[in-house]
A and B are shown apart, each in its own frame.
Chain A
Amino acid sequence: MTAVRCGLVHDPIDTAAVLADVGRAGAGANVLFLGTTRGLTGDVVTRGLEYEAHEPLAEARMRGLAEEAVKTFGLTACAVVHRLGSVPVGEASVAVATSAPHRREAFAGAEWLMERIKRAVPIWKCEEAEDGSRTWVHPDAEPGP
């Protein structure tokens, strides 16, 4: 069984399946992180988010990062799924699961992976505000190859 599974989906993420993907006999720690659409940021209401990606590049980049996480943190297994299209408030846009013999590595690997995914995978989010206006988000930081 390979240590890494990555994918892009256009429907709700089966989060239980993502967590189950990293289960191994040698893993005593299993971490599942879900990034969900936030409906309220301070006083600002978000109706929903929409995501798009350069799909082949995004999948390759996600896989490369996941493999790096396995090597760097000594993970037993790692799974990453990002949803594209419209993601309603409260639903998951991204799921990262890691497993390791002990919890420290599993937590650290999942956090590192999420940081890298947000900075280096060609996926973009469009925020729909309360008044229906839509804004693509392009942070000031340069995109990292």
Chain B
Amino acid sequence: MHVSLFAGMAEAAGRRRLDVAWQEGTVADLRAALARQCPAVVPLLGRSAIAVDGRYAADTAAVSAGADVAVIPPVSGG
């Protein structure tokens, strides 16, 4: 599964996309998987929302293997 990263998340990871081995699970499981795979993102990940298929998803929401996932760190537009 591809997980898109932006701004400070992409900078922390050193890339704009993480490829995560994923069968099925919840958003919380996905957060844990991202933290294991890329410990550098942990501080910001804890303050970030997760978007699944273009919508913000709660930690209890299911994430399918083909989902389009993005990590949304605290925003600063304007």
Q: How many A-B residue pairs have CB under 8 A?
A: 84
In the bound complex, what is the Cα–Cα distance between A142 and B47 (angstroms)? 6
Q: Which of A57, A117, A141, A143 is within 8 Å of B78, CB to CB?
A: A117
Q: Smallest CB-CB separation from B12: which chain A residue?
A: A136
Interface residue? B64 (CB, 8 A): no
A122 at the interface (CB under 8 A from B): yes
Q: Majority SS of interface residues in chain A? A: mixed
How many chain B residues touch the partner (CB < 8 A)?
Answer: 20
Q: Which residues from 121 to 142 on chain A have a C-beta closer than 8 Å to any C-beta of chain B?
A: 121-126, 136-142
Cα A118 to Cα B77 in complex, Å, equals 5
Task: Tell me if B75 and A145 are in contact (CB < 8 A).
Answer: no
A residues whose Cβ falls under 8 Å from a Cβ of B: 35, 51-54, 56-58, 60, 82, 93-94, 114, 117-126, 136-143, 145
